[in-house]
Structure 1
Amino acid sequence: MGCASSIHISDRVVYHSGKESEDSHSPQQTNATQHQGNPASGLPLKPHSCKTTLTEVQFGPMKLFKDPLQVLLVFAKEDSQSNGFCWACEKANYRCSLAHTPESALECFSEKHHDLVIVDHRHSRHFDAEALCRSIRAVNSSENTVIVAVVKRPDREEASVMPLINAGFNRRYVENANMMACYNELLQLEHGEVRAQFKLRACNAIFTALEQSQDAIEITSEDQVIQYVNPAYEAIMGYQQGELLGKEIIEVPKSEKNKPDLLETINTCIRKGKEWQGIYYAKKKNGDNIQQNVKITPVIGQGGKIRHYVSINRPLNDNNKSEKSSERVQAESQTDIQSRSSQRRHSSMARIHSMTIEAPITKVINIINAAQESSPMPVAEALDRVLEILRTTELYSPQLGTKDEDPHTNDLVGGLMTDGLRRLSGNEYILSTKQPHHLPSHLATPLSLNDIPPRIAQTMETEGSWDFDIFNLEAATMKRPLTYLGLKIFSKFGVCEFLNCPEATLRSWLQVIEANYHSSNSYHNSTHAADVLHATAYFLCKERVKQSLDPIDEVAALIAATVHDVDHPGRTNSFLCNAGSELAILYNDTAVLESHHAALAFQLTTRDDKCNIFKYIERNEYRTLRQAVIDMVLATEMTKHFEHVNKFVNSINKPLAALEENGGNNDEESVKSILTSPENRILVKRMLIKCADISNPCRPLELCIEWAGRISEEYFAQTDEEKRQGLPVVMPVFDRHTCSIPKSQISFIDYFITDMFDAWDAFADLPNLMQHLDNNFKYWKGLDERKLHSLRPPPE
């Protein structure tokens, strides 16, 4: 059940501007000052302004971005202990104020409302620390402040902490002026008590939102004991909060209108941890029944068990025929609102129908709007939810249910399917749009396919097999496999004949494209391009694919595979966007790399007649070929991964399956119309290059392991550079010191590979690939179950 309003909760949220905040230059006069310095030097600490940094605090589904912690130190005089805490605050980038008297401490706290207060409790002759703590607690804003007492090291018997707790202290710190001891104490406080207080503040804000909600909300414990109801619930059901709290739901009168099996269905569903939503009758305090649209959500708590149930109830007043007169008025009011809404909808429809061009999605929305007019309220509300979904732009992108629980999948999705978290300031990563390479002299061979050295030719003898070892060719060609494999595959498919260009032109083109791949990249180099070209050629030989595509499609696919990652910098789109790179600026943070690959490929091709493979084809044919190449290269961008896969399944696989169920293989004309329609040919080409691009998990195990190591190293290098430059780390799990490569491979296969290759196998018939995929997944699972993080198990 959707809510009509949105809720925004703010807790001193700041934007990182790279500048000091205003209050970092407002030290207290006289006895309260902000400090920095090295206590080990023995020199007095000097006033300063702490750096403004951004601290991220995660609370379950909520994420708060806090400005630096405000710390107040209350010491009658500066000594090694106070200096130790000052140094620790500086190291942790906290804002630190130092007060010498209770009066200045209270004045400073009233102005800044510090998150953490540390009070010297060692010398009672200077001031009464417990009295000061009680005074601070008397300030309204101190409710969520953590207060620590610094106490003397006990000489004999350990003293009780109860006097400190009764005075309002949260904990004590036994004096220790060691700088790292102070620093560690502050870190533990921040990540323990202080963060807990942040969470409590957020909870207060959430309960404020619940109090204002127009939906009736009920929260129960795992044992179905009512723990909270909001004012809307009281108003609708006629109860006062005190009449319900602490009661089991079975004690509250229930409507007999609900069927017994409905209650059993609800309980079975929610006890399994699943959400239930549907129509339910409740009994008000006065005995009347009220029909409600109810959503009950189990809340997982400590130990992974269900600890609470949250019920959101919205009355369906126009269907409650047994309601009394006051409720009938409310129902009529609701009907009036619906009537006005209907009139607005008719007005909007009239404008839409007057348009001369109507998109298919508009037609769908019109049909649903028309159906709503004569539908009962539950159906109308369900159709409203359908319309909300249809009006979103991400119709084909699923929501990852386990994202928060699986950091590997979370990071892969965040790193591969987003355009980064934009920095508002900071260093810029300059990826220069360098001048195209000149042809190095050592790339002048081979002159033709017949001149390939025998050693290299021998490594390409199994090129027609899926199990072809691209790494043997990489070694034999000294990391230049693309030119040689390209010559053989392009010759097999008659590309020169189709383009009407000499083989020497094709050779020069392959050499120029390969020279613009970065051999320094561990993964995105010309060996990857050669591997994708090999997979593309393999797929093009499959019968169903051959039935779908024309010769121009085959040529476009081979060219697109060859150039699809040209000049790849070894960094993801998210990285380039975060770093403000020239390419990200040029392409407006949208499909940055893929746009660059496609554009540079045509620049390199057309700049010199010696490598212009398009020089000899007719203009219209060139335009068609160019558009197909660009479309395929852009399809390798992962943000539209699910859109491409789902369109392929719904437009091609499902209609073909329906034909087969109806005895369809005999209906050749129907099959042909599905396979060869212009729209579906585009979908086949997109799916083909996508599968070729990320087919590593479907290769034989040894090749799969090698590719996994290479992509991991490239992601490790990116994480290293992000940390060096102070950029957002888009894939934190890819830290070379902590990453589990098996887990990352399992997540990649689960989230991106399995469904896509199931669909592609159903179309192209690839049982050998699916067997490799199954074997490789079991291999990674086996390593993960043994808690191994490496590519291979240790030697026996």
Structure 2
Amino acid sequence: GCVYLSWLIVPAVIISWLTRGAISYDSSDQTALYIRMLGDVRVRSQVGFEPERRSSHPYLCIDFRTLHSNSEPERRIQRLLSFQRYLHSSRLLRGIPQQIPLHILDEDYTGQARCMLEKVGHWNFDIFLFDKFTNGNSLINLTFHLLNQYGMVELFQLDMVKLWRFLVMVQEDYHSDNPYHNAVHAADVTQAMYCYMQEPMLAKSLTSFDILLGLLAAATHDLDHPGVNQPFLIKTDHYLATLYRNTSVLENHHWKSAVGLLRETGLFSHWPAEDSLNMERELGSLILATDISRQNDYLSRFRQHLDQESLCLSNGSHRHFILQMALKCADICNPCRPWELSKQWSEKVTEEFFQQGDVEKKHKLEVSPLCDREINSVGNIQIGFMTYVAEPLFAEWARFSDTRLSQTMLGHMRLNKASWGSLQQEQTLTSEEAETSNASTSREGAAAAPRGTSSKEIPQGSRES
């Protein structure tokens, strides 16, 4: 316990000096080389690897994430894969400059963060507040706490320094400038995954390996997400789309990035080689399941199991499938959170959509669905998402695990959907009132116009027939 508390809150400076990243938008040959080095990992639905070809697409010489920034070009930092950084530095935690003191968080914040972790299994856990109390290090502290709470460190003989280094690198490989797909989202998904694994159906069935796998998959499931979707990478002819043959492009990259960090830190280097490779394969299987384009495939299989009552959680493959479904639920559980939290997530994910649309407009690309801020709103996007994606999934999850938590999630989703509907109606009424007011002002202006006023100066709608 004492050892754990001493590691609980990461010093702020440990993160602040880290400026590395993963995805590179200049089609670096070194990047493709690194990914191919991980090519011995195989998993179901993996489509294979091929050498990267340098794209001639004009948009890929620009890091589109900087297009929204006012920073000068010379101050922009190129994001490189972690393996390349590792080749240039073998210092612990990427090498902390000796002249910089390690300032820890204010004791009040540290105490409040620890207090919150005592309620980490509550569905109304406020990850935004926890991120504030940990000075932006929610993913590190939350994941470390959960692994320690489950006894994973002792059980799997994990080296404390390697584990901490791995978590620091994971958090840092999430892009903080993404409104939604960042480390706070990963922390939120990890907390939700923990809640699901505490449900009776899973708690009595999951093995220690399942638990370790589930937490690591949740923490890394969107690793190095670029803030744009797969269609964007495909239509800009990005090398990752070519590498993964336009199939689960982002999910494959998240998985390979996670494997890279596991190998770089040597977190499982003391395991037998086959066990370590098995962990990597299973990790890929979970992360690939989060591909939203395959939602119906997983949902149909889940529904069929429930209809036939054929799930047997003493069967390893069935437990793995349930972990896939749990991670899918955790990944899109925002509509099921209390309104105060759900609304924030809705606004963040929509802003990320709109930022992609802005880039597409700027470069004369076809604007992706839901990404045009001129014709979409947070409300209509969220109502559609709940109706066609979230509700069908969580209805089946409630059939599988009919507990207070599953009913709470469905209840929140109904209320949130109604709240967005009400906001939509209010916005429509406000818009109509504004149009009516403008029309009335125009008519009054026309009536007050001098007789000699040219008809060209009178609004068209005010002319007498």
1:433 positional shift: 7.2
After superposition, the CA RMSD in angstroms is 2.8
Distance 1:614 1:747 in 2: 42
Question: What are the equivalent positions in structure 2 for 1:13-412 lying under 5 Å apart?
Answer: none
Partner of 2:172: 515
Distance 1:769 1:712 in 2: 21
State the structure with bigger RCO (CA 8 A, min sep 6), 1 or 2: 2
Distance 1:685 1:444 in 2: 42
Distance 2:189 2:426 in 1: 32
Distance 2:279 2:187 in 1: 21
Q: Which of residues 80, 100, 109 in structure 2 aligns to 1:434? A: 80
Partner of 1:553: 210
CA 1:633–1:445: 2 relative to 1, 3 Å: farther
Partner of 1:752: 389
Residue-by-residue CA offset, 1:103-126 (whole Å, 9 max, x unaligned): xxxxxxxxxxxxxxxxxxxxxxxx
CA 1:446–1:585: 2 relative to 1, 3 Å: farther
Distance 2:210 2:139 in 1: 21
Distance 1:528 1:502 in 2: 26
1:585 positional shift: 2.0
Partner of 2:278: 624
Distance 1:460 1:769 in 2: 21
Residue-by-residue CA offset, 1:505-525 (whole Å, 9 max, x unaligned): 211110011111111111000
- Find out whether 1:734 has 2:343 as its counterpart: no
1:774 positional shift: 1.4
Question: What are the equivalent positions in structure 2 for 1:604-623 lying under 5 Å apart?
Answer: 604-607=261-264, 611-623=265-277
Distance 2:57 2:262 in 1: 36
Distance 2:285 2:263 in 1: 19
Question: What are the equivalent positions in structure 2 for 1:617-656 lying under 5 Å apart?
Answer: 617-651=271-305, 653-656=306-309
CA 1:455–1:507: 2 relative to 1, 3 Å: same
Distance 2:188 2:241 in 1: 27
Residue-by-residue CA offset, 1:195-221 (whole Å, 9 max, x unaligned): xxxxxxxxxxxxxxxxxxxxxxxxxxx
Distance 1:735 1:727 in 2: 12
User: 1:553·1:628 contact (CA, 8 Å) conserved in 2?
Assistant: no
Question: Where does structure 2 lack aligned partners over 5 or more consecutive residues?
Answer: 1-54, 64-77, 87-92, 431-465
Partner of 2:319: 681
Task: Return the structure number with greater strand share.
Answer: 1
Partner of 1:570: 227
1:717 positional shift: 0.3
SS in 1 for 2:279: helix
1:484 positional shift: 0.8
- Find out whether 1:784 has 2:424 as its counterpart: yes
Residue-by-residue CA offset, 1:419-442 (whole Å, 9 max, x unaligned): xxxxx9853435687231664649
Residue-by-residue CA offset, 1:680-712 (whole Å, 9 max, x unaligned): 223201101000000000001000000001001
Distance 2:341 2:270 in 1: 39
- Find out whether 1:601 has 2:232 as its counterpart: no
1:580 positional shift: 1.1
User: 1:783·1:789 contact (CA, 8 Å) conserved in 2?
Assistant: no
Which residue type is aligned with residue 616 of structure 1? Answer: H
Give the aligned length.
345
CA 1:788–1:629: 2 relative to 1, 3 Å: farther
Residue-by-residue CA offset, 1:236-268 (whole Å, 9 max, x unaligned): xxxxxxxxxxxxxxxxxxxxxxxxxxxxxxxxx
Which residue type is aligned with residue 290 of structure 2? Answer: T
Partner of 2:28: none
- Find out whether 1:695 has 2:333 as its counterpart: yes
**Which structure's CA Rg is the greater one?**
1
1:773 positional shift: 1.1
Task: Return the structure number with greater helix share.
Answer: 2
1:788 positional shift: 4.9
Distance 2:166 2:248 in 1: 25
CA 1:484–1:789: 2 relative to 1, 3 Å: farther
Q: Which of residues 343, 354, 362 in structure 2 aligns to 1:716? A: 354
CA 1:631–1:789: 2 relative to 1, 3 Å: farther
User: 1:429·1:576 contact (CA, 8 Å) conserved in 2?
Assistant: no
Partner of 2:131: 474
- Find out whether 1:579 has 2:236 as its counterpart: yes
User: 2:360·2:367 contact (CA, 8 Å) conserved in 1?
Assistant: yes
Distance 1:492 1:788 in 2: 49
Which residue type is aligned with residue 429 of structure 1? Answer: L
Residue-by-residue CA offset, 1:26-73 (whole Å, 9 max, x unaligned): xxxxxxxxxxxxxxxxxxxxxxxxxxxxxxxxxxxxxxxxxxxxxxxx
Residue-by-residue CA offset, 1:726-754 (whole Å, 9 max, x unaligned): 222112x4322342211110000001000
User: 2:225·2:254 contact (CA, 8 Å) conserved in 1?
Assistant: yes
CA 1:788–1:535: 2 relative to 1, 3 Å: farther
Distance 2:258 2:428 in 1: 41
Residue-by-residue CA offset, 1:305-359 (whole Å, 9 max, x unaligned): xxxxxxxxxxxxxxxxxxxxxxxxxxxxxxxxxxxxxxxxxxxxxxxxxxxxxxx
Residue-by-residue CA offset, 1:349-405 (whole Å, 9 max, x unaligned): xxxxxxxxxxxxxxxxxxxxxxxxxxxxxxxxxxxxxxxxxxxxxxxxxxxxxxxxx
Distance 2:317 2:166 in 1: 30
CA 1:675–1:789: 2 relative to 1, 3 Å: farther
Partner of 1:485: 142
Which residue type is aligned with residue 645 of structure 1? Answer: L
Partner of 1:165: none
Q: What is the identity percentage for the equivalent residue pairs of Structure 1 and Structure 2?
A: 29
User: 1:479·1:519 contact (CA, 8 Å) conserved in 2?
Assistant: no
Distance 2:411 2:168 in 1: 35
Distance 2:371 2:426 in 1: 20
Distance 2:374 2:57 in 1: 26
CA 1:621–1:788: 2 relative to 1, 3 Å: farther
Distance 1:429 1:755 in 2: 37
TM-score normalised by the chain length of structure 2: 0.69
Distance 2:103 2:302 in 1: 40
Distance 1:781 1:694 in 2: 20
Question: Where does structure 1 lack aligned partners over 5 or more consecutive residues?
Answer: 1-423, 657-670, 791-796
Distance 1:613 1:446 in 2: 27
TM-score normalised by the chain length of structure 1: 0.41
Distance 1:645 1:775 in 2: 24
Distance 1:736 1:549 in 2: 44
Distance 2:243 2:114 in 1: 42
Q: Which of residues 509, 530, 555 in structure 1 aligns to 2:187? A: 530
Which residue type is aligned with residue 280 of structure 2? Answer: R
User: 1:740·1:789 contact (CA, 8 Å) conserved in 2?
Assistant: no
